[in-house]
A and B are shown apart, each in its own frame.
Chain A
Amino acid sequence: MAERPSPYPLYVRKYPRGWWLRRGPYLRFAAREITSMFAAITSGFLIAFLIALGSGPSAYAAFLRLLDSPGTIAVSSVVLAALLYHTATWFRLTTQILEIRLGRRVVSRATLIGGLVMVWMGASALVAYLHVWF
């Protein structure tokens, strides 16, 4: 059924532009949305790395020279901090959604967080081993 057109103006609440800057929880919500930007930037960076790798040894060497600078460390540290913030909020969020039952017992949130941190550390160690030392 189509909605009848309104004979009276509808009240639509107007938000000020910077509503999300006003309170802690709003700001953290915005921070979660904005840290996803850094995940996309990292994807773009990895694509650039692969394109350099596919373009032959000299292009790859040029890309590595670009990486080998204090500026890269500074920028990467900011990106890394944002990604770790994302990791922390994602784990928190996951344990609020996920409920695992073992028989009659429900796995506690602390155990779940611990499990996720273990998975994260294990995956990171495996990637680092294959990437650097294998």
Chain B
Amino acid sequence: MASEERTARASQSPSPSLADVLDWSDSRQVVPRRRRARRPGLRSLPEVMAWALFSAGGFVAAILLPVHVAILGVAYAAGWLPRDALSYQRIHHLANNPIVKLYLLVLIALPLFHWAHRFRFAIHHQFGIGLKKLVAAGCYGAALAGTGVAIWALLRI
């Protein structure tokens, strides 16, 4: 093929001609079309799981987290709660319920995975750092570790 020869020649000569550049650019544009197209809607399993956890976490963070911060962070210190609302006996009894434990696990773990997915891209976008695999492993690893600690904390109550 003429263009192949030209490309080979061009890689040796220091200044390529315009025709060589155009040939090379044409040959590059053809390459992606020869690849087998991925079936639409089909993604790798880790990607699907990361996305599902991200979106579920976004929902949990949006709907359930504000009220918890409002109660524990603001209302308690401001003295708006009844006297023994956060007493040890009451909260311990409440957190001992298996359904409440499951709720707390969802409440804590899903926002962590939401954060992991967003922070992963924030590292690339806002801080301009590459290292894609390391960043992904670090972010999802941190979320997994947090989930592990949450399970441990829930089991020892």
Contact = CB atoms under 8 A, between A and B. Distances in A.
Interface of A: 1, 3-4, 6-8, 15, 17, 20, 30, 32-34, 36-37, 39-40, 42-47, 49-51, 53-54, 57, 60-61, 64, 67-70, 72-73, 75-77, 79-80, 83-84, 86-87, 90-91, 94, 119-120, 123-124, 127-128, 130-134
18 contacts: A4-B27, A32-B118, A36-B114, A39-B111, A39-B112, A39-B114, A44-B146, A46-B107, A46-B108, A47-B153, A60-B88, A64-B76, A69-B77, A73-B74, A77-B73, A80-B69, A90-B61, A134-B94
Nearest to B118: A36
A54 B67 CA distance: 22
A128 B71 contact: yes
The interface centre, meaning the residue of A15, A73, A83, A134 with most chain B CB atoms within 10 A of its CB, is: A83
A32 B68 CA distance: 20
A70 B21 CA distance: 67
B16 interface: yes
B76 A1 contact: no
Contacts of B59: 90, 94
Nearest to A29: B125
Nearest to A94: B59
Interface residues of B, number: 64
Nearest to A88: B62
A94 B73 CA distance: 28
Given A83-B66, A90-B58, A33 B122 contact: yes
A107 to B, nearest CB: 18
Nearest to B25: A8
B88 A50 contact: no
Contact of B74 (A3, A36, A76): A76
Contacts of A46: 68, 104, 107-108, 150
B57 A39 contact: yes
Given A20-B125, A37-B119, A67-B72, A1 B94 contact: no
B91 interface: yes
A133 B80 CA distance: 12
Lowest 3 A-B CB distances belong to which pairs?
A: A76-B73, A40-B115, A7-B11
A15 B111 CA distance: 30
